[in-house]
């Protein structure tokens, strides 16, 4: 089972700049402290006392209600490798055997580990798709509609800047969930704390798009780590539905990712219309594995 020694060791590991490239933002201790009710980590350590692999996980409940879950604002909960190993399946199985007993568990693996098989541990696999723009993509093949909307933003002198009116940005972001008839569990207090967290750690921002009359057209919330920029949330004012502001904002964020030599991750969708919208930026559909287990 994971223990405090593991957790302390993992926190120290995350402070080592030599390992920063390996650790997604969603597995960083400062992120886990902020978004999880509780979190811990399983480690595999070699004969030289080096960490080979880690499995950070979030949990809540106790006794008969204890479960491993993915916080609403996190996209991945995955194994992380710090050394090359011959048989990743064996290492992952060792990690999973350290997990505490829970009534449910939920992991969403990084794309690099989509071929890992946990069925022997009685986990059930669900395939989900995200959409990536690779940092080395020389030409971005946008759809004609996306190109028109970007040009519209240029001609009408749209302005993009960090949000200085967070409640208005939050309302636009939540409007997207309402249109999809989804009840968001992210209240304004939670969002405000996230916004301040990523500002403090220089790993994300809330961006607004305004027209020439200073009308707020659209907002997005994105985070980043050493490898990737993640588009976590976005929304627009329905009054300006045809403004093209969301496309204009996302194009700006994609350009930023390219300049930083980072991949851009749209963080997936199970809705075909949204998936088509992401693919309109030239994003590549990428399979990721969700592994679930329940004893209920």
H helices, E strands: number in the chain: 8, 12
Q: Do residue 112 and residue 49 come from a single domain?
A: yes
Q: What is the DSSP letter of 213?
A: T
Give me the domain span that covers residue 112: 4-122
Only one residue has tokens 């287990």, namely 293
Only one residue has tokens 């759809």, namely 143
292 is a domain residue: no
Dihedral sign from CA coordinates of 17, 19, 24, 25: negative
Give the 3-state secondary structure of residue 201.
Answer: coil
Q: Do residue 94 and residue 172 come from a single domain?
A: no
Q: Which of 62, 93, 122 is the last residue in one of the domains?
A: 122
Task: Write down the pLDDT at residue 138.
Answer: 75
| pLDDT at residue 244 is higher than 70 | yes
Q: In this structure, what token pair is assigned to residue 55?
A: 């499995």
pLDDT confidence of 177, banded at 50, 70, 90?
confident
For residues 60-92, one letter each, b for 16 or more C-beta atoms within 10 angstroms of the residue's C-beta and e for the rest, the string is: eeeeeebbbbbbebbbbbbbbbbeeeeebeebb
Q: Do residue 113 and residue 140 come from a single domain?
A: no
Q: Do residue 118 and residue 140 come from a single domain?
A: no
- What average pLDDT does range 190-214 have in this prediction? 96
CA 64 to chain centre: 29
Q: Do residue 225 and residue 165 come from a single domain?
A: yes
> How do 38-45 and 67-69 pair as beta strands?
unpaired
Q: Do residue 192 and residue 279 come from a single domain?
A: yes
Q: Do residue 145 and residue 283 come from a single domain?
A: yes
Q: In this structure, what token pair is assigned to residue 47?
A: 């004969």
pTM, full prediction: 0.94
Task: Write down the pLDDT at residue 49.
Answer: 82
128 is a domain residue: no
Question: Tell me, what CATH number does 245's domain have?
Answer: 3.40.630.30
Q: Which of 122, 147, 173 is the last residue in one of the domains?
A: 122
Task: Write down the pLDDT at residue 217.
Answer: 96
Q: How many domains does the chain have?
A: 2
pLDDT confidence of 1, banded at 50, 70, 90?
very low
pLDDT in tens, 36-56: 999 999 999 987 788 999 999
pLDDT confidence of 2, banded at 50, 70, 90?
low
Q: Which of 122, 155, 177 is the last residue in one of the domains?
A: 122
pLDDT confidence of 96, banded at 50, 70, 90?
very high
For residues 180 and 191, what is the distance between their CA atoms, to the nearest angstrom?
19
Q: Do residue 139 and residue 266 come from a single domain?
A: yes
Q: Do residue 116 and residue 143 come from a single domain?
A: no
Q: Do residue 281 and residue 144 come from a single domain?
A: yes
Range scoring the smallest mean pLDDT among 2-16, 64-78, 119-133: 2-16
């Amino acid at each position: 089972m994971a223990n405090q020694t593991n957790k302390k060791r993992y926190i120290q590991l995350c402070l080592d700049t030599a390992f920063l490239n390996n650790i997604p933002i969603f597995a960083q201790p400062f992120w886990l402290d902020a978004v999880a009710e509780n979190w811990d980590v399983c480690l595999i350590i070699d004969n030289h006392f080096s960490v080979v692999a880690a499995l950070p996980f979030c949990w809540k409940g106790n006794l008969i209600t204890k479960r491993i879950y993915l916080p609403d604002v996190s996209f991945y909960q995955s194994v992380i490798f710090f050394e090359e190993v011959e048989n990743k399946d064996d290492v992952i199985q060792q990690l999973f055997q350290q997990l505490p007993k829970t009534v449910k568990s939920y992991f969403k693996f990084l794309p690099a580990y989509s071929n890992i098989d946990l069925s022997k541990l009685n986990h059930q696999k669900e395939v989900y798709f995200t959409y990536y723009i690779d940092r080395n993509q020389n030409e971005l093949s946008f759809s004609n509609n996306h190109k028109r909307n970007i040009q519209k933003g240029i001609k009408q002198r749209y302005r993009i800047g960090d949000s200085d009116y967070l409640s208005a940005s939050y309302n636009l972001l939540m409007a997207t969930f309402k249109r999809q008839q989804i009840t968001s569990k992210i209240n304004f207090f939670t969002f405000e704390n996230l916004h301040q967290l990523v500002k403090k750690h220089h790993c994300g921002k809330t961006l607004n798009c305004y027209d020439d009359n200073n009308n707020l057209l659209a907002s997005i919330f994105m985070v980043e780590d050493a490898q990737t920029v993640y588009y976590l949330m976005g929304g627009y004012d329905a009054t300006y539905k045809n403004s093209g502001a969301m496309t204009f904002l996302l194009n700006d964020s994609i350009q930023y990712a390219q300049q930083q030599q980072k991949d851009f991750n749209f963080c997936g969708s199970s809705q075909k219309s949204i998936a088509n919208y992401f693919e309109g930026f030239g994003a590549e559909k990428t399979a990721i594995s969700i592994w679930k287990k329940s004893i209920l």
